[in-house]
Amino acid sequence: MHPLKTRQPYPRNQWWAAAYASEVGRQLLGRTILGDRIILYRTESGEAVALSGLCPHRAFPLEKGCLAGDRVRCGYHGFTFSSTGALEEVPSQTAIPAKADLRRFPVAERGGVVWIWTGAETLADETLLPDMAALGPANPDWATEQHIPATIAARYTLLIDNLLDLSHASFIHADTIPGGDYVASLPVELVETPASLNVRRIGRGLPSNPFFKLMFPHHEGPLDQAFDAEYFGPHLIRTGGALFDSAGGARLGTQNYLHIITPETPGSLHYFVVTSRDFATGNPALGRTHVDMGLRIQPQDKAAIEAIEQVLQGLSHPPREVSARCDTGALKVRHRLESQIRAEEQAA
């Protein structure tokens, strides 16, 4: 992706996934998000906390410190902070220096993910969080798998580009996505709403195969399969979608692949993949298959966009870029993202 035509590389008034909920516990977890070091942990009552991750005393990374009850103690000289970030204790003196508090990030847990708000705290609005119940992970009637998180040495926009043009499945994933070879040849439909932009493809009359059989053991005939790529924001893209009986048109079920993206630095990103379905929810073999497939598919995308990132870093000018019709969705998304960032820049 060309560099965005904005000054900031990413929007800050945004909920971003900081970690899976299961990663956050009674140990300090350090993570770099939007270029800032952050620490994550849970209080004794279980509440997730996100604080800036550098001690204001001598810039020591707080993730190397420890928890003392609900408080964070720096591992270098013992400065100790409350779970709201307030400096509360300095060894060998009783006075507390002023302006020494840690920044506290608004936190919300949804669908097994700890989301943090990286912008102005007054603008943090939980209604802007993704609807993880509708998407599956926060709905107890769906079966959900969290794939191992990855850090990718590429700007986050390259992963958005990747996901919004699923024709790549026919080439990069030809050997790892059953039916992927159909994707590039399918016509594309754009569905745009204020909340999302969906690049839709539907494969029709796909003959049965072992993967379909695993999903729908009692279905014999061909299927219609959605290959959606729905952008909800730079933090979340949904692929997959509904599967139908080609004969009667009945929906057999919905299989969502949620791609949760968080910029780590201007040139790297955190990638959380969550798969969720509303059928065969009691079949653990299907869940394992999704995770196993992810272990083969995600490294292919990682390798592809890391190769492009290396190309971009080696160039003094952005490369020329030729687009095809099937890039329309990706280009519109790029425009949405630039508008979001530019609105922030103008408000600032």
Burial category of 246 from C-beta neighbours within 10 Å (exposed 0-12, middle 13-18, buried 19 and up)? middle
Q: Give the contact letters, 99-138, x = binds to a second copy (CB under 8 A), - = no.
A: xx--------------------------------------
Stretch that binds a second copy, among 91-99, 111-119, 138-146, 190-198 (CB under 8 A): 91-99
Distance CA 58, CA 46 (A): 29
165 forms part of the interface with a second copy (CB under 8 A): yes
Question: In the complex with a second copy, which residue's Cβ is closer, 141 or 321?
Answer: 321
- Site membership for a second copy, residue 168 (CB under 8 A): yes
Q: CB of residue 316 vs a second copy: minimum separation in angstroms?
A: 9
Distance of CA 149 to the CA centre of its chain: 9
Cα–Cα distance measured from residue 23 to residue 334, given in angstroms and rounded to the nearest whole number: 31
186 in contact with a second copy (CB under 8 A): yes
Selected from 312, 336, 340, 342, the binder of a second copy by CB under 8 A is 312
Residue 328 CB burial class (10 angstroms; 0-12, 13-18, ≥19): middle
Q: Looking at 96-104, 110-118, 141-149, 221-229, which segment touches a second copy (CB under 8 A)?
A: 96-104
DSSP state of 54: B
Q: Considering the complex, what minimum distance in angstroms separates the CB of residue 139 from a second copy?
A: 34
Least CB distance to a second copy at residue 73 (A): 8
Dig out the tokens for 51 from the structure: 């604080």
Report whether 266 contacts 9 (CB < 8 A).
yes
Query: Of residues 18, 67, 132, 188, which one binds a second copy by CB under 8 A?
Result: 188
Binding mask 12-51 for a second copy (x = CB under 8 A): -----------------------x-x--------------
Q: What contacts 24+ positions apart, CB below 8 Å, involve 129-133? A: 129/15, 130/15, 130/232, 130/233, 130/235, 130/236
| 141 touching a second copy, by CB under 8 A | no
Q: Cβ of 332: how many Cβ atoms within 10 Å? A: 16
Give the shortest CB-117-to-a second copy separation in angstroms.
22
- Phi, psi (degrees; rounded to nearest 5) at 232: -100, -15
161 binds a second copy (CB under 8 A): yes
Closest distance between a second copy and the C-beta of residue 311, in Å? Answer: 5
